[in-house]
Amino acid sequence: MNAVATSTRPQIEPLKRELQLEFLTQGQLDQLQQATLEILENVGVRFPSEKALAVFAEHGVEVNWETQVVKLRPDQVKQALASVPRYFTLGARDPSFDLQLQKGLTFFTTDGCGVETVDLGTGQKRPSRKEDVGMMARIADTLSAVAFYWPMVSAQDYGVSAPLHEMDASWNNTIKHVQSETIMGEIPARYAVEMGIVLAGSREELRRRPPFSLVVCTIAPLVQDKEGIEGALVLAKAGVPVGFLAMPTLGTTAPATLAGALAVGDAEIISACMLMQLAAPGAPVFHSMMQAWADPRTGGYVSYPLDSCGRYAPVEMAHHWNIPSLGGAYGTDSKITGTWQAAAEPAMDAFMVGLAGAEIATGIGLARTYTLLYPEQIILDEDLYHRGRYLMRQMEISPETLAIDVIRAVGPGGHFLAQKHTRQHMRESLKRGVTHQLNDLNEYIDPREYARQRVKWILENHHPEPLELAQQQELTRLLAAAEREMEENKEL
């Protein structure tokens, strides 16, 4: 029997798109789509995977086996993408936290795959570990902004099988959907499917309510990753949602103009989505792009120049293809959390991807351009999320909220403090963020300090329902088997 009582958690509060806005015109979307089709047909994309090339060849695609470049005709692209489901479900351990993707809602995740952690105890930076993945899953489990979980850092203490250990740590610490961005290659993907079946209960349930999904990065310009694509094929055939994330960098791996970079990234994503549909028609896929910039002086990767505009563009491009979108948000370039820069850069992001209508979006909680975990940053980023969420809502206008009778009772020059209406509504009218938390002296607490306190409180008090013992044991057994097979494969 578990000695620690399990905790409940607040319901997910997705972004609700109550304001209507289309950023790109239909003409611009057509132009961008046409550009992608021209690139796919005339330039092509390199797939360094015999398996992927074989799938394309079987479906009449022009394959150059020597250069491994496929050239995709517009009619082939459109025909293949016709089978993409527009919406699907991301399952969770607890069905009440399943995410039914739909118009008008944006579900957010944490950021993921960081490589260092600022240790909560020592305050020192160190390589990230599996226990960090679990710790942050437990925190994410209790935040209403986090609808699903990306393992936030890499389980570097587990070598080649790190991606599967990240899944294990995640499922043991949150009941929410888990999305991996590190499962690469056929063998890990096969084991991940097996682990998913342990969670779901059966292969059929895995397909119906997949408790995990995968996002695979493409390689700019116009290349796919062999291991990434082959792992994705395994998951797509099992009905596990897979998404493709392009990260073109303006000036180095993409043209220095944003529209050109978006076209390059889109071509990479669309070619991968097409492969999934050819191999597994109807497989749930999603589209994601996070463009970056090369600093002209250093060549360094910059996520947030002044004109980083375009959090919305990939979302609307995805929808123009009739594919759900994983919107790109957050990931400050600030090396330290809680700084001016760490808020100035991502503060508009949740609002922008929500307003553009992304079905899912990533991701809160990492600094130093997605690489460094400060445990308290998730609380600060969540605050920015809720600011965006409220900005997107419509004001409630009703006789009760207009309160004309109350205004009449108070009259000019009076005050509302003594009104019953005030007592009834005051608590709901102030949504207190991290900036307005009071200490015992009624002074505001420094937001970063409050965030630290909140993290410590959660870790001491929040204990999600554990997996059933049999499930835990089965996951452990699968991990051991995976490690053996992957080590053997590595030696070969």
Q: Which of residues 340-359 bind other proteins (CB under 8 A)?
A: 340-345, 347-348, 351-352, 355
Tell me: does residue 110 bind other proteins (CB under 8 A): no
Tell me: does residue 258 bind other proteins (CB under 8 A): yes
**Residue 208: HSE in the Cβ half-sphere, 13 Å Cα cutoff:** 9
At residue 50, what are phi and psi to the nearest 5 degrees? -60, -35
Span from 73-81, 110-118, 127-135, 422-430 in contact with other proteins (CB under 8 A): 422-430
Residue from 126, 335, 456, 490 touching other proteins (CB under 8 A): that is: 335
**What would the x/- binding string for other proteins be over residues 268 to 307, using CB under 8 A?**
-------------------------xxxxxxxx-x-xxxx
**Which lies closer to other proteins via its Cβ, residue 191 or residue 293?**
293
Tell me: does residue 388 bind other proteins (CB under 8 A): yes
Tell me the number of residues near other proteins by CB under 8 A.
Answer: 120
**Rounded Cα–Cα distance for residues 392 and 372 (Å):** 30
Three-class secondary structure assignment of 396-413 = CCCHHHHCHHHHHHHCCC
**Which lies closer to other proteins via its Cβ, residue 284 or residue 314?**
314
**Which lies closer to other proteins via its Cβ, residue 453 or residue 472?**
453
Tell me: does residue 260 bind other proteins (CB under 8 A): yes
**Rounded Cα–Cα distance for residues 262 and 254 (Å):** 8
Here the tokens at position 147 are: 């609808």
Tell me: does residue 387 bind other proteins (CB under 8 A): yes
- Checking DSSP bridges between strand 212-217 and strand 146-149, what pairing results, if any? unpaired
How many C-beta neighbours within 10 Å does residue 477 have? 12
Tell me: does residue 65 bind other proteins (CB under 8 A): no
| Nearest one of 217, 222, 296 to 252, comparing CA atoms | 296
Residue from 2, 8, 11, 415 touching other proteins (CB under 8 A): that is: 415
Shortest Cβ distance from residue 288 to other proteins (Å)?
18
**Rounded Cα–Cα distance for residues 61 and 42 (Å):** 13
**Rounded Cα–Cα distance for residues 284 and 236 (Å):** 7
Residue from 309, 481, 488, 490 touching other proteins (CB under 8 A): that is: 309
- Checking DSSP bridges between strand 360-364 and strand 326-328, what pairing results, if any? parallel
Q: Which of residues 440-479 bind other proteins (CB under 8 A)?
A: 442, 444, 447-448
Angle between the N-to-C axes of helices 74-81 and 258-279, in degrees from 0 to 180, rounded to the nearest 10: 60
Tell me: does residue 412 bind other proteins (CB under 8 A): yes
Q: Which of residues 200-239 bind other proteins (CB under 8 A)?
A: 219, 221-223
